[in-house]
Structure 1
């Protein structure tokens, strides 16, 4: 079931969100200081392409909090808005609700990516 969900997700919006995370990672990697942030973006691009069967655990300390604040100001808000709008559009139909929920998961991740860990179910 996860394979079918991931395949449909990839075609209906996962490709766009994954490319968004990938491009954000490339922009962050332009500077040496931004490379750790860019690598985090690449990790989250993989969950954007195939989110079914994966969960996100949140944690972290003061360093994660500081990076999340910088991320939120620079990149997080636009990426979260795209995910929320996508999720709302997908939730219009009953069939689209599982896909909308995955999009909302990506919106939360777009707001707080540092200290988050991707785990397989």
Structure 2
């Protein structure tokens, strides 16, 4: 079911949202000091391309550098990308089939605002507590 959802998402909104993240990543990598923002943008491009079956995990130990970086990110790229996600979400909610995808797009708008201090992991990996060892 995840694959079907991802393919529908890719056709309806994923490809152009991923392109927007990739453009933001390239622009961020042009300047040397904003390369961490470019890496975050490329990570989010992959997540916005194929989001179902993966989760976002917040790194609690990220701290003050992540907060400062997120504020800079919001000023440079975050607000535009969040507005794109909200616009895509509203457009997707026009049809009944698109309502779950619109909700997913609006949830991604929050991540577009504050991407630093987060990781994208598989859904199964997000359920395993950090202290538990998974068998290989």
TM-score bracket for the superposition, by shorter chain length: over 0.9
Moved over 6 A (4+): none
Structure 1 stretch displaced more, 90-99 or 70-79 = 90-99
Q: Which has the larger radius of gyration?
A: 2
Aligned to 2:44: 44
Aligned to 2:17: 17
What displacement does 1:18 show? 0.3
What displacement does 1:92 show? 2.5
User: In structure 1, the residue corresponding to 2:30 is in which secondary structure?
Assistant: coil
What displacement does 1:87 show? 0.6
User: In structure 1, the residue corresponding to 2:33 is in which secondary structure?
Assistant: coil
Alignment partners' CA distance in 2, 1:28 and 1:58: 22
Alignment partners' CA distance in 2, 1:105 and 1:14: 14
The reply to whether residue 71 of structure 1 matches residue 73 of structure 2 is yes
Unaligned runs of 5+ in 2: 124-136
Alignment partners' CA distance in 2, 1:55 and 1:92: 26
TM norm structure 1: 0.94
On the 8 A contact 1:21/1:44 being kept in 2, the answer is yes
Unaligned runs of 5+ in 1: none
Aligned to 2:131: none
Structure 1 stretch displaced more, 98-107 or 17-26 = 98-107
Structure 1 stretch displaced more, 19-28 or 29-38 = 29-38
Structure 1 stretch displaced more, 32-41 or 91-100 = 91-100
Count of aligned residue pairs for this structure pair: 121
Alignment partners' CA distance in 1, 2:107 and 2:46: 14
TM norm structure 2: 0.85
> Any idea what the Cα deviations from partners look like across 1:49-95, whole Å, max 9, x if unmatched?
00111111224311110000000011111110010111112123321
Structure 1 stretch displaced more, 59-68 or 10-19 = 59-68
